[in-house]
Amino acid sequence: MAEAFTTDRQTRIRVSDESFLEAVFSSKNYAEIAAKTGQKIASTMARFARTRTALSAKGIDLPTMERQKPTKTVDNVEAMAEIVRRLKAHANG
């Protein structure tokens, strides 16, 4: 699906327009497109934005993409409250 070109500094993944658009229409978020094409998520997001702009000028709409939701959410409010209590005790003591 993608070709990898290696230079002295980095490996560049090149994906044809057809392969990229197939990945877009079969995905719900940028991470899925990146996994299907082998590109980085940032590259995928930039290419999607350029493609959407170019096609919207022609009256063609692409599906709406979302960023992938984080798999782990950390509730750190209690941890921050404990840090504040410890700092106040240290300042008063």
User: Which pLDDT does position 78 carry in this prediction?
Assistant: 83
Predicted TM-score of the model (pTM) = 0.65
Of 34, 38, 30, 32, residue with least CA distance to 67: 30
**Who has greater pLDDT, 51 or 92?**
51
User: Which pLDDT does position 80 carry in this prediction?
Assistant: 86
> Does the pLDDT value for residue 1 go beyond 60?
no
Domains identified in the chain, total number: 1
Q: How far apart are CA 88 and CA 93, in angstroms?
A: 8
Q: Which domain holds residue 79?
A: 2-92
Rounded to an integer, the average pLDDT of 80-89 is 90
User: Which pLDDT does position 75 carry in this prediction?
Assistant: 72
DSSP H helical segments within the chain, as ranges? 17-25, 30-37, 41-57, 77-92
pLDDT tens digit string along 22-74? 999 999 999 999 999 999 999 999 999 999 999 999 999 999 988 877 766 66
